[in-house]
């Protein structure tokens, strides 16, 4: 089965937010990269965004505590990742970056 539209749309938004975070906060130089990997299992999409910058994700990120300032122009990236993804994290085995997973929406049986 192909990637469902709602999963694809959320994945594009969240990937864009994480790549933007890497560009803004990772202290990237001209030779540094932001690498994106996406794997679709048929039910779960896992996206990994790694960068080769010198910055590291904050170690004190707690899911549920991420909330941008009211009326804030920035700070929405991880908030959206936290709210829209099924699971997410920063542990990439020693490399800098983030990952998130999105599950295929469950079908509702309308004949019941």
pLDDT tens per residue across span 5-48: 999 999 999 999 999 888 888 788 888 889 999 999 999 999 99
User: Can you read off the two tokens belonging to residue 4?
Assistant: 């469902």
For residue 111, tell me if it sits in a domain: no
For residue 99, tell me if it sits in a domain: yes
Return the CATH number at 48.
Answer: 3.30.565.10
Q: How far is CA 66 from the centre of its chain?
A: 14
Least confident range of 13-22, 35-44, 66-75, 84-93:
66-75
Give pLDDT, residue 10: 96
Tell me the average pLDDT across 47-70: 65
CB 51 within 8 A of CB 33: yes
Domain count, the chain: 1
User: Using CA of residue 90, residue 92, residue 94, residue 97, what is the dihedral sign?
Assistant: negative
State what percent of residues in the chain have pLDDT above 70: 73
Domain limits at 98? Answer: 5-103
Q: Considering the chain, what is the average pLDDT of its residues?
A: 81
Give pLDDT, residue 108: 61
């Amino acid at each position: 089965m192909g990637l469902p539209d709602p999963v694809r749309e959320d994945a594009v938004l969240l990937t864009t937010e994480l790549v933007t975070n890497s560009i803004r906060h990772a202290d990237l130089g001209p030779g540094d990269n932001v690498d994106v990997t996406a794997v679709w299992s048929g039910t779960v999409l896992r996206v990994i965004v790694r960068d080769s910058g010198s910055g590291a994700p904050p170690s004190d990120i707690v899911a549920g505590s991420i909330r941008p300032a009211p009326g804030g122009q920035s700070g929405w990236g991880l908030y959206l990742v936290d709210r829209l993804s099924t699971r997410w994290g920063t542990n990439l085995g020693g490399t800098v970056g983030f990952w998130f997973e999105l599950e295929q929406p469950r079908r509702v049986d309308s004949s019941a």
